[in-house]
Homo-oligomer: A and B are copies of this chain.
Amino acid sequence: MATAPFDFAPLFPADLPAPAARWTGLAKYSFVGGNNDADQVPVEGLTDAATAVLEREGRTLATYGLASGPQGYRPLREFLVAKLQRDAAIRCTADDILIVSGSLQALDLVNQTLLSRGDTVIVEQETYQGALTRLARLGVNAVGIPLDHEGMRIDALASALSDLKRRNIRPKYIYTIPTVQNPTGTIMPEARRTELLKLSQEHGVPIFEDDCYADLIWDGRRPPAIHALASGGGVIHIGSFSKSIAPALRVGFIVAPWEMLSRMLALKTDAGSGALEQMVLAEYCRPHFTTHVPELTRALRAKLDTLMEALNAQFGTSAEFEAPKGGIFLWVKLPDNVDTLRLYQAALAAGVSINPGPEWSTNRGYSGSRLRLCFASPSHAQIREGVAVLAEVCRKEFGVPARIANVEKARG
């Protein structure tokens, strides 16, 4: 006997987020999503690593947490101990590290441990969209600090902290992406990191340091992590293998004192992050990480150059940008009359996806004609073609860039 289909809607909680739409695939010219360069995935090396580690330790898959417990595959943590010391000057042990299912889980665990609805946190005015959407959903106020070419402005931070203190608000953390900032691509120099730490200690506000893009630096040189400079603790440091190896693996990590880790472990009720990726990454990275990453960054640098050339060719002076120090994205300013939220819609209809600035900023006025473009995933040809299409769309919608008669639009 047929019955009317069951209606779940009356059961939904009042604050349930809107439903997702059906997935329709990536745009033809996709400049979003932090996807990486498929040509640079070290497939052979990962395959050899998978074979070796499975043959040696495949039996341990029968046990939740393998033989390593809830903090994650021990050899991966040991790789990270050495890597973090070498690259970021962080001195820690495997017991100070928690492997998570991508840095997104790190964000969630830190937030669950520290935040309640109505709390306040400090962020860079332009910052990672995923962080902003999480804070909004949690009902947490994000105070944005303006940036310059060296990252978060310390004078503005001091000002904001004093203002909050006057209003009797104790912010729960200062969230910073100091090493290849997302989206602006800057690197905060050591002196400024020290000043940031000083303010953090004075005001008793911990620092939440997100180093997810820190491996992808063109000249390979970076200041010590804020975590490394902090003699008094008070820093939670997170990172990821998504940008250095591959995003679909979903492996990130947290370095934090046991006071924090023990709380996050109690909240990480997933019976462990995926074991196979951890095993394969440890097996691959130990011998190959330090040779793989420079190759990857060389390829990414070449794509950045293609993107900047294409923007110059298509937009001329209408597009302003500074070359990032590394990473997979470029932050661009278009003329003030360009509303990049509208540009996003029009471009999508033409097969080009971009990240509109307001989704990556706490300051709508400042970001309204800015946008973020990821360049790792599209090919060189797709970058050139996509930017040409974007310029055409922008011209139609906003009258800029003006048509440049003597530029041949290459549609290779």
Number of copies: 2
CB contact under 8 A between A38 and B19, given known A276-B249, A277-B276 = no
Q: Which residues of B contact A251 (CB under 8 A)?
A: 274
Alpha-carbon gap, A69 to B25, bound state (A): 7
Q: Which residues of B contact A14 (CB under 8 A)?
A: 116
Evaluate contact between A234 and B55: CB separation under 8 angstroms: no
Evaluate contact between B3 and A263: CB separation under 8 angstroms: no
Query: Residue of B at shortest CB range from A9?
Result: B259
Neighbour of A63 across the interface among B267, B270, B377, CB < 8 A: B377
Evaluate contact between A54 and B47: CB separation under 8 angstroms: yes
Evaluate contact between A47 and B55: CB separation under 8 angstroms: yes
Evaluate contact between B231 and A250: CB separation under 8 angstroms: no
Evaluate contact between B43 and A64: CB separation under 8 angstroms: no
Q: Say if the beta carbon of A164 comes within 8 Å of chain B.
A: no
Alpha-carbon gap, A38 to B277, bound state (A): 19
Q: Say if the beta carbon of A407 comes within 8 Å of chain B.
A: no
Evaluate contact between B250 and A270: CB separation under 8 angstroms: yes
Query: Residue of B at shortest CB range from A37?
Result: B62
Alpha-carbon gap, A159 to B260, bound state (A): 46
How distant is A220 from chain B, measured CB to nearest CB, in Å?
A: 22
Query: Residue of B at shortest CB range from A40?
Result: B62
Interface size class of A (residues with CB under 8 A): 35 or more
Evaluate contact between B201 and A3: CB separation under 8 angstroms: yes
Query: Residue of B at shortest CB range from A59?
Result: B38
Evaluate contact between B20 and A247: CB separation under 8 angstroms: no
Beta-carbon contacts under 8 Å, A10-54 to B:
11-14, 16-23, 25-26, 33-41, 43, 46-47, 50-51, 54
- Contact bitstring A352-387, B, C-beta under 8 A = 1, else 0: 000000000000000000000000110000000000
Alpha-carbon gap, A12 to B110, bound state (A): 11
Evaluate contact between B46 and A115: CB separation under 8 angstroms: no
Alpha-carbon gap, A293 to B231, bound state (A): 54
20 residue pairs of the A-B complex, CB under 8 angstroms, read A5-B257, A6-B204, A11-B170, A13-B114, A17-B266, A19-B262, A20-B265, A23-B65, A34-B64, A35-B63, A37-B62, A38-B60, A39-B59, A41-B59, A46-B54, A50-B51, A134-B269, A248-B274, A249-B276, A250-B272
Given A13-B114, A248-B275, 16 more A-B residue pairs with CB atoms under 8 Å apart are A6-B206, A8-B234, A11-B206, A12-B263, A16-B263, A18-B266, A41-B62, A43-B54, A63-B248, A101-B270, A102-B271, A104-B270, A105-B270, A133-B269, A251-B274, A276-B280
